[in-house]
Amino acid sequence: MKHLLSNYLFTLIAFLTLGSISNAQQSKRLVHDLSGYHWKVQGTLPGRGLEEKFPEISYDHMGDALNWAPAQVPGDVFTDLWRVGRIEDPHYGRNSVKAKWVNEYEWWYLNIFNVPEEMKGKTIELTFDGVDYACDVFVNGKMLGTHEGMFTSFSFDITDLVSFEQKRRGRNTLAVRLHPAPRRYSQVAGRKPAWHGDYWVDLVPTGIWKPVRLEAFETTKIKDIYVQSDINLKKKSADLTVQVEVENYESTNKSVEIEIEVQGENFKSKSYKSTITKSLSPGRNEFTIPVKVPDAKLWYPWDLGDQNLYIANVTIKSNKKVLDVDDKLFGVRELKMEMNPGYTKDEVENPWTVMINGKRHFIRSGTWGGPPDIFFGRASNEKYEEFVRLAKEGNMNNLRIFGWHPTEIPYFYELCNREGITVWQDILPIASLSLPKTEEFKQAIFSEAISVVKDLRNHPCMVIIEGGEEILMTASDPEYNLNLMKELGDVVEPYTNLHYVPVSPLSDHVGIELGFKPKESVHANGLFYSEGRINTEKFFQSKDFAAVPELAISSCPNVESIKKFIPEDELWPPGPSWGHHWTDFDVFRTLNFDVLDNQSTGSLQEFVDATQISQGVIFQYGLEYFRRRKPKSSAICICHYITFAPDMKWGIVDYYQQPKISYDYVKMAYQPVLISLEHKRRRWLPDEQFEGKIWVVNDLYKDFKDCKAEITFLDHNKKEVKQDVIKIPNIKGDSSKEFAAISCKVPGELGNQFHVKLKLTDKSGEVISENKYLLLVGDERVDLPRLREIGQEARDKKEKYGSHNYLRYFEGLSGERGVKQADEEIPTVKEFNLKKTK
């Protein structure tokens, strides 16, 4: 497996080999990567590692660590233990419950390394880009310090501690003690993502999750580069402001020359330079250098233009001697937020329309429920690449990372930059809880937030940043949470010009009580949680909001994927491992009946397909509803696109990177040019006159002339019963418009399905957009009461057992009768022994 972040280090700074170095290069920063496979790991009860003097293990005492397990950095403890067989795969069955002992321990990582001889005479720093969550660091037996916080990098000066003697297995010893994993998320929120939710509950990830390296330099180091653009769209020129942060390690002032060179990174361009001479004071210094780019190539999302990227090279010299060199990848683009038309100030007071280089960027998003694995050691560049590829292939132009998930690795944002996918980002993982009210907590997350923003702000893919996720609706003191998130926005404002939203959603009942307007943003998850109280069409038709950061519906993964994490003897009828992986059978029965008029419990394949079709149809109905409202609505996000573990929950692409049937529905609904059928009902009586309206939504800045729409009605056997052709003379760019009303006599009998297919072609006959719809021959007067009955069964069960207790589905695991049976057989879902039934 190519390891996660294998090329990340080399994008940070020029890497010099350990061979011969020219005189001109000798003063550049040297980097020695300590990431990789030359690590060992050992666990002890808390405190035992220091008692046993683990930090004193040295290069000539390696026999003391021969029984340590091999480990990989970046990575995590659970993956290292799984690789050597100490724990079973936590993703399989209910193995994660058996591995909880791991979190009771402290874990020690050990690396024996040589320091390159070229680093002699320079300042040498040991840098960690990220440790999850807290650690102590030792080099050659000496403790360097303690760090808490997963998202902040940290460094130690080890110049006087290391030996330059070269040994075959290494001469210097680096020992890292990971503190036992935290247990209360509220106490570490913002500095570590939640390890519990409605698709993960058990293990608390821990490890060295980002690269570790040595850096050697003279007396000056470039700490940060920030490039901002002021664009003249008419002249296609850009005035760049390059902000450079420099550390002077000397105790006196010195004169330096700072040179900026800007050129195209993924296209040919001229080189644009600017140089200033400044005096460096001891410590941190910040300078701003202007650079003019008269023929700027702009960065756009993939559906609006090209993804032109630049690189800014920064060189610091003193008396013509190079002191340090660094570079930063960026894009030239103008980002503005505009108000959504159609609302009064009493309804919406915040801007929700993202404008990129003067073009409306209607956000077609999916929640990035990543990373690709909750255990960082099982992620890889290839997995990131495939998930981003599938997102773009599914017509998403945005990915949203909300407060249940960590800020991503640099490679993720680089992929989004290159693929033209924008990112809507919660700065820190702060979600669904009451926050501590101490000054210490506030200052800790503020520091973490500044670090995160500085890491992200150069990426042109970044468009919106947020504070907390659902922390008003779930908090005992929502006003305190809100004020803290507002203060967080004030703290990061000096470091970025990105638009900041304090919480999501703004327009839930608590948000409105706290002063937000009623139609700002909504989490349209109520259909999932309604348990049959309302059907799909009625739920969405009542929604009127500027933005929808979440629209959540669940489904099962494909059968072949299920077989990879559910034991064979629990596959069908479903055994307890289904419940452990968050299967809500009652929700599935309800959604299946709503969409398909059948609970679909006859077989494993039937049930799985039904859940995926139901998820797809509901997503399609909701997404198209909000897209037709453009420009009044400007953003819609499904929840989720992916999740970080195998589960029976949210994603439309499963953990194993296999698209579900629902993926195809979302792909259709997210077409940049969408032909859409507005229909108020999905159930129609036999021979009733079906009525609908044909819309075209165009997110491209391109007009289409002399088009035609073909509408084909099919019965339950997919046999054509009627076809209409409608002329559409002009589809304007960046538009949403109704073009025609259509009707057809409903074919078939009660209990049947019928279908509508749409095809939009231009004047040359080329297909611009295709779509299809699954509808029901049914009687709402009968079916909707039955839907509510199924939901009531679910509510009664939750009232008895609790909403998060999956044992309610397995008689053999509850009560005295269950205790007696548990040793004899695997309890199964009783209802799933039945034949297919309504």
Tens of pLDDT along 398-438? 999 999 999 999 999 999 999 999 999 999 999 999 999 99
Distance of CA 58 to the CA centre of its chain: 41
Q: State the pLDDT at residue 800.
A: 86
Q: Is the pLDDT of residue 627 over 60?
A: yes
| Cα dihedral 690→693→698→703 (10° resolution) | 120
Instruction: For residues 187 and 149, state if they share a domain.
Output: yes
Q: Could you tell me if residue 345 is inside a domain?
A: no
Of 284, 315, 330, the last residue of a domain is 330
Q: How far apart are CA 240 and CA 332, in angstroms?
A: 9
Handedness of CA 556, 561, 566, 572 (dihedral sign): positive
Q: How far apart are CA 709 and CA 254, in angstroms?
A: 71
Q: Could you tell me if residue 241 is inside a domain?
A: yes
The kind and range of the H/E element at 415 are helix 410-419
Which range, of 15-29, 206-220, 533-547, 665-679, averages the lowest pLDDT?
Answer: 15-29
Q: How far apart are CA 619 and CA 641, in angstroms?
A: 11
DSSP for residue 59: G
Mean pLDDT of 252-258: 95
| Residue 232 main-chain phi, psi, to 5 deg | -100, 100
Query: Is residue 203 within 8 Å of 193, Cβ to Cβ?
Result: no
| Residue-range definition of the domain harbouring residue 818 | 781-833
Q: Could you tell me if residue 356 is inside a domain?
A: no
Of 481, 515, 549, the last residue of a domain is 515
Give the residue from 799, 307, 834, 440 showing the smallest Cα distance to 602: 834
The domain tally of the chain equals 6
Instruction: For residues 226 and 317, state if they share a domain.
Output: yes
Q: Is the pLDDT of residue 835 over 90?
A: no
Query: Is residue 78 within 8 Å of 96, Cβ to Cβ?
Result: no
Instruction: For residues 279 and 227, state if they share a domain.
Output: yes
Instruction: For residues 16 and 36, state if they share a domain.
Output: yes
Instruction: For residues 405 and 553, state if they share a domain.
Output: yes
Give the residue from 523, 596, 586, 587 showing the smallest Cα distance to 554: 587
Residue with the larger pLDDT of the pair 812 and 564: 564
CB neighbour class for 717 (10 Å; exposed up to 12, middle 13-18, buried from 19): exposed
Q: How far apart are CA 658 and CA 566, in angstroms?
A: 16
Contacts of 750 by beta carbon, 8 Å cutoff, 6+ apart: 685, 686, 777, 778, 779
Instruction: For residues 726 and 802, state if they share a domain.
Output: no
Instruction: For residues 584 and 662, state if they share a domain.
Output: yes
Q: How far apart are CA 634 and CA 535, in angstroms?
A: 25
Pick left, alpha or beta for residue 96 (phi over 0 → left; psi -120 to 50 → alpha; otherwise beta).
Answer: alpha
DSSP for residue 659: B
Tens of pLDDT along 455-493? 999 999 999 999 999 999 989 999 999 999 999 999 999
Q: How far apart are CA 747 and CA 716, in angstroms?
A: 8
Q: Could you tell me if residue 353 is inside a domain?
A: no
Query: Residue 832: which pLDDT band, with cuts at 50, 70 and 90?
Result: low
Instruction: For residues 416 and 448, state if they share a domain.
Output: no
Contacts of 17 by beta carbon, 8 Å cutoff, 6+ apart: none
Q: State the pLDDT at residue 27.
A: 52
Residue with the larger pLDDT of the pair 633 and 62: 633
Q: Could you tell me if residue 336 is inside a domain?
A: no
Mean pLDDT of 732-755: 97
Residue with the larger pLDDT of the pair 415 and 61: 415
Q: Is the pLDDT of residue 828 over 80?
A: no
DSSP for residue 299: B
Distances (CA, A) of 647 to 92, 557, 637: 10, 7, 20
Reply yes or no: is the peptide bond before residue 640 cis, omega within 30 of 0: yes
Give the residue from 266, 276, 327 showing the smallest Cα distance to 297: 266
Q: State the pLDDT at residue 284.
A: 96
Reply yes or no: is the peptide bond before residue 371 cis, omega within 30 of 0: yes
Q: How far apart are CA 209 and CA 425, in angstroms?
A: 20
Q: State the pLDDT at residue 488.
A: 97
Q: Is the pLDDT of residue 165 over 80?
A: yes
Give the residue from 143, 287, 147, 273 showing the smallest Cα distance to 220: 287
Handedness of CA 490, 491, 496, 502 (dihedral sign): negative
Q: Is the pLDDT of residue 815 over 70?
A: no
Distances (CA, A) of 350 to 82, 340, 341, 431, 633: 48, 9, 12, 22, 13
Q: Is the pLDDT of residue 95 over 80?
A: yes
CATH number of the CATH domain containing 744: 2.60.40.2550
Q: State the pLDDT at residue 814.
A: 66
Q: How far apart are CA 78 and CA 299, in angstroms?
A: 40
Q: How far apart are CA 711 and CA 705, in angstroms?
A: 19
Distances (CA, A) of 307 to 135, 313, 421, 497: 39, 20, 10, 20
Q: State the pLDDT at residue 11.
A: 36
Q: Could you identify the residue written with the tokens 């666990």?
A: 43
CATH number of the CATH domain containing 324: 2.60.40.10
Residue with the larger pLDDT of the pair 202 and 329: 329
Distances (CA, A) of 54 to 47, 138, 208, 320: 11, 10, 18, 46
Strands (E), 528-684: 547-552, 635-642, 673-678, 683-684
Q: Could you tell me if residue 117 is inside a domain?
A: yes
3-state secondary structure at position 484: helix
% of the chain exceeding 70 in pLDDT: 94
Helix/strand/coil (H, E, C) string of 507-530? CCHHHHHCCCCCCCEEECCHHHHH
Mean pLDDT (the chain, rounded):
93
Instruction: For residues 115 and 38, state if they share a domain.
Output: yes
Of 515, 546, 567, the last residue of a domain is 515
Q: How far apart are CA 803 and CA 798, in angstroms?
A: 5
Q: Is the pLDDT of residue 4 over 70?
A: no
Beta bridge partners of 551: 638
First to last CA, the chain: 47
Q: How far apart are CA 818 and CA 236, in angstroms?
A: 73
Helix/strand/coil (H, E, C) string of 331-378? CCCCEEEECCCCCCCCCCCCCCEEEECCEEECEEEEEECCCCCCCHHH
Query: Is residue 585 within 8 Å of 556, Cβ to Cβ?
Result: no
Mean pLDDT of 303-326: 95
Which range, of 18-27, 137-146, 524-533, averages the lowest pLDDT?
Answer: 18-27
Handedness of CA 383, 385, 391, 396 (dihedral sign): positive
DSSP for residue 636: E
Instruction: For residues 312 and 200, state if they share a domain.
Output: no
Q: Could you tell me if residue 761 is inside a domain?
A: yes
What are the DSSP calls for 758-776, one per residue? EEEE-TT--EEEEEEEEEE
Instruction: For residues 19 and 117, state if they share a domain.
Output: yes
Instruction: For residues 463 and 591, state if they share a domain.
Output: no
Query: Residue 837: which pLDDT band, with cuts at 50, 70 and 90?
Result: very low
Q: Could you tell me if residue 2 is inside a domain?
A: no
